[in-house]
Amino acid sequence: NAGVTQTPKFQVLKTGQSMTLQCAQDMNHEYMSWYRQDPGMGLRLIHYSVGAGITDQGEVPNGYNVSRSTTEDFPLRLLSAAPSQTSVYFCASADTVGYGYTFGSGTRLTVV
Amino acid sequence: SQQGEEDPQALSIQEGENATMNCSYKTSINNLQWYRQNSGRGLVHLILIRSNEREKHSGRLRVTLDTSKKSSSLLITASRAADTASYFCATDQFNDYKLSFGAGTTVTVRA
């Protein structure tokens, strides 16, 4: 039982490049979310999903896309990377609302 | 904007002492959770308290919730060096699936 797996762990992008951060969970959780963590600002919600085929925007969705074609996977796409997207990104999943989330170990992204 | 706000921002205590941190939130909630994050790692769920509960315990952790004051506290008793971490509160609201986090309290336990 691996929990929530995020890849890659580290990534450096040039401004304007695109990439996909991968997130997979093996707990059959319905809820999945993406957060970014910046110093002194806690975690801010980017996008979330309450089940396969259903996604919605969080607090800071601009510049990011998501899709949820399966229960297990919830990739986050950066469309055209900007230095302001330099951050640590966390994927998390939960059985449903009102249950604790399981977090991945994070992806540290630097945009130069 | 973030729903929760932790206080203090940072806390330094001696091993064996108790650590108390508070979380205030802006709008009515369904559930409130506390998470721990060790340096450079992902968050770990500690405890969840529902809006109709006032107190909950888990090992050395005690969480209280006062919905009239829109606040919660996390008490860690008999702290250990391994408790050195950042602690975050997170809330969700009725009929809303989003989980919103505060900025966190950084706790340092000195040996």
Per-residue model confidence as pLDDT tens digits over B28-65: 999 999 999 999 899 999 999 999 999 999 999 999 99
pLDDT mean over A68-75 = 97
**Other Cβ atoms within 10 Å of A22 Cβ, number:** 16
Of B2, B33, B41, Cβ closest to residue A105: B41
Q: Share the mean pLDDT of chain B.
A: 93
CA distance B88 to A12: 28
Contact B100 A104 (CB under 8 A): no
Residue with tokens 């469309």: A79
pLDDT of A101 higher than 80: yes
Confidence of residue A99 (pLDDT cuts 50, 70, 90): confident
* Exposed / middle / buried, residue A109 (Cβ in 10 Å: 0-12, 13-18, 19+): buried
CA distances (Å), A28 to each of A2, A85, B44, in order? 12, 30, 19
- What is the pairing mode between strands B71-76 and B19-25? antiparallel
Of A56, A59, A103, Cβ closest to residue B43: A103
Q: Residue B81 in 3-state DSSP? A: helix
CA distance B38 to A37: 14
Q: Which residue of B has its CA nearest to A43?
A: B101
Q: Which residue of A has its CA nearest to B87?
A: A42
